[in-house]
Structure 1
Amino acid sequence: MSEWALRRRLLLFWLVPAAMGTLGFQLVPSRLNPDLSLTALIAVQLAMWGAWALWTTLTWVLGDQLARRRASPWGQGAAYVAFGAVVILCQILIQARLGVAFGIAERRGIESTLVIGLRQYGDFSVVVYSAIVVSQLALRWYTSWQQERVQAARAAEALASARLRALQGQLQPHFLFNTLNSIVSLIGRDPEQAQKLVVRVADLLRSSLRLGDRQEIPLAQELELTRQYLEIERIRFADRLTLQWPDVVPGDLLVPAFAVQVLVENAVRHGIARNPAPGVVSLDVLADADSLVLRVHDTGAADTDADGTDTTVVGSGTSLRTLQERLHHLYGASGHVTLTARPGGGTTAELRVPRLESGGTAEFSGG
């Protein structure tokens, strides 16, 4: 709600004392005009308290001008005091003239009217005017506080989005650099396989660029990107790499883009590549009402960063640290990745994120 909308609503407050004044005169009629009709009573009360609504509006206009001109506190105080004196004197004259017009007050000269008015309800008028000034200052502070909150929230959102884009930008080229290294290693000893790798890299690059700035994608789409990456690694490792992948995955669940690729790449680089014997990389997908859990297992060499217990400290790998930071920005404490050493060698990398749905199911042919 805008500041002026709030002000218009606050002006309706003056209907309350007008109603109370009308009720008072109904219960205890005026000595000078006891036969005054209800319509006349309502009219005189609305006029008296409507004048205060006018002074309220003018006081707010004065405050806006002082704020716009950046007046000093002393200057603002002097302006409010001077205007307050005018308001109180004018209100005394208005009430006296209305009282005479409706027959509920005696006619007096202007000097007597002001002196008696100040004595009878001058202190009350000072309190009312002070409340008007305080309400305007409080409303201005509240509006400024709200604007600062909105600006801070927008700045935080922009910063978070920029950080997420930067973190995702770190992951996208990470896989490309690794696959380019694989191509270089094959060019000398197997040019034909190197050519196949170039085609696979082109496919992976097109799929990666198609995502744009999307931070979350359907799980089936993420696994398809991972499959393209694994096809490159299978050419590189030949019979040393075997994949065990679920045939059907819940395609309506969302995961951070490139998150599964990070876990698979970690399994290949730190498990399969370090072990001269054939190895297996497998994936488990678990979902409950609140969370989606993805576990990537490898049977390669034991990861020296995993100590056999779950931990959110995922080692020194750049990609895992970047993934953990992305999860923190996206989900807070609800998203994390852990590494666990497996008995007999190998590592299990677990990704846990909140369950978020988009729609549909899909098949995956991981091979």
Structure 2
Amino acid sequence: MFKQLSRYWMCQLGGWGLNAAITVFFYLTLSIRKVEHFYLIILISVVLGLLSTHLMRIVIKHYKFLEKPIRNQIISFILITIVFSIIYACADVGAEKLFGLRGYVDPSISLLNELIRSIINSFFILFIWNLIYYTYHYVERNRKQQVDTLKLQSLVKELELKTIKSHINPHFIFNALNSIRALVDENPQRARNAITELSNILRSSMHAEKLETVPLVRELNIVKDYLALEKMRFEERLTIELDIDENTLEQPVPPMMLQTLVENAIKHGISKKINGGKIKVISDFVNDHHELVVQNSGQLSTLISEDGFGVKSTQNRLNLLYQGKATFDIKNLDADTVESRIIMPKNIL
């Protein structure tokens, strides 16, 4: 039975049970007069306490007080404690009067004064309850942010290692070097440029900065180098088109995310087609969001690798970085085109 109770209800029952136990202890050890129906009064107080604090929790969650700025949280903390102290005190005094349990109250004390005293007492109890509740969620939220940060760092590291592995893959280097060797006599200048492009890619992979985001222009430079090398290999079979809004060049993007999508598009899309195909990279502002789009010839069933690393890592990184405010979608745009689309919040520069 207890295993089925949530942590919240276990704390609720334990807290109010402890409150009742302390009250009974002081009554049995320090009280100089007997109170009729004392245990019934305590039971009513505990039940009303459970109901009022649970209702208070519902209100806190419904109006998302815990997601507001800290100043608003403090204001809501005080106001909701006052409001529910009044509700709790009125219900407690009303229940005792309804069931005729107020014989222990000094007749010289008016009902209004007793109500005020009950409000003050309940305020301290609910203040402690709220303090524990708010503090718990504040600590829990910070802990979750730290866990998310660690997950992001781990994911970035994993992505870097995967990218490094793909870039220093013998087949990749073999193909690039073969293409460069063929150009040494035929086009020495292009061969020198190709060596520089290969060096840029390897350097970027090996020495990627440990940053959550980089300017889009930096990411595009690596993508251009990668596509230039692939163009040597595929020649006329690969058509490249870049449609980049210059206003988006300084927008922050997760490092190597665009390159991962382009690399997957080449590896699992273009290379699977005998006649090759086209790859198009688009960056633009749409509806006050930054959109990154990669379109390539092929079909979705042949685009995703067996472990789906590129797709999975992209979605995970977006979720961790933007807390659900960014989306990633990959789909067949038509019978011969796959589109990968990332939508991120626009950064006001």
TM-score normalised by L of structure 2: 0.58
**Distance verdict in 2 for CA 1:83–1:224, change over 3 Å:** farther
8 Å contact from structure 1 (residues 217, 254) kept in 2: yes
* Matching residue within 330, 333, 338 for 2:330: 338
**Distance verdict in 2 for CA 1:271–1:328, change over 3 Å:** same
* Matching residue within 75, 83, 107 for 2:22: 75
* Matching residue within 198, 223, 232 for 2:220: 223
8 Å contact from structure 1 (residues 200, 232) kept in 2: no
Gaps of 5+ in 1: 1-66, 86-117, 307-312, 360-367
Aligned to 2:144: 156
Q: Name the amino acid aligned to 1:352.
A: I
**Secondary structure at 1:321's aligned position in 2?**
helix
Q: Name the amino acid aligned to 1:249.
A: E
Aligned to 2:129: 141
Distance in 2 between residues matched to 1:340 and 1:324, nearest whole Å: 18
Superposed displacement of residue 161, structure 1: 1.7
Superposed displacement of residue 127, structure 1: 5.4
8 Å contact from structure 2 (residues 245, 284) kept in 1: no
8 Å contact from structure 2 (residues 295, 338) kept in 1: yes
Q: Which has the larger radius of gyration?
A: 1
Please give the root-mean-square deviation of Cα atoms over the aligned residues, in Å: 3.9
8 Å contact from structure 2 (residues 328, 342) kept in 1: yes
Aligned to 1:283: 281
8 Å contact from structure 1 (residues 314, 339) kept in 2: no
TM-score normalised by L of structure 1: 0.55
Distance in 1 between residues matched to 2:331 and 2:291, nearest whole Å: 13
Task: Indicate whether 1:304 and 2:301 are aligned.
Answer: yes
Distance in 2 between residues matched to 1:283 and 1:143, nearest whole Å: 52
Distance in 2 between residues matched to 1:331 and 1:167, nearest whole Å: 15
Distance in 2 between residues matched to 1:271 and 1:119, nearest whole Å: 88
Superposed displacement of residue 270, structure 1: 1.3
* Highest RCO, 1 vs 2 (Cα 8 Å, sep ≥ 6): 1
**Secondary structure at 2:199's aligned position in 1?**
helix
**Secondary structure at 1:332's aligned position in 2?**
coil
Superposed displacement of residue 218, structure 1: 2.6
Distance in 1 between residues matched to 2:118 and 2:31, nearest whole Å: 8
Aligned to 1:260: 258
Distance in 2 between residues matched to 1:293 and 1:202, nearest whole Å: 27
Q: Name the amino acid aligned to 2:319.
A: H
Distance in 2 between residues matched to 1:270 and 1:131, nearest whole Å: 69
Q: Name the amino acid aligned to 1:263.
A: L
Aligned to 1:209: 208
Cα deviations across residues 48-67 of structure 1 (Å, max 9, x unaligned)?
Answer: xxxxxxxxxxxxxxxxxxx9
**Distance verdict in 2 for CA 1:339–1:314, change over 3 Å:** farther
Superposed displacement of residue 142, structure 1: 0.9
8 Å contact from structure 2 (residues 329, 341) kept in 1: yes
Q: Report sequence identity in percent.
A: 17
Greater CA deviation, 244-253 or 280-289? 244-253
Q: Name the amino acid aligned to 1:298.
A: N
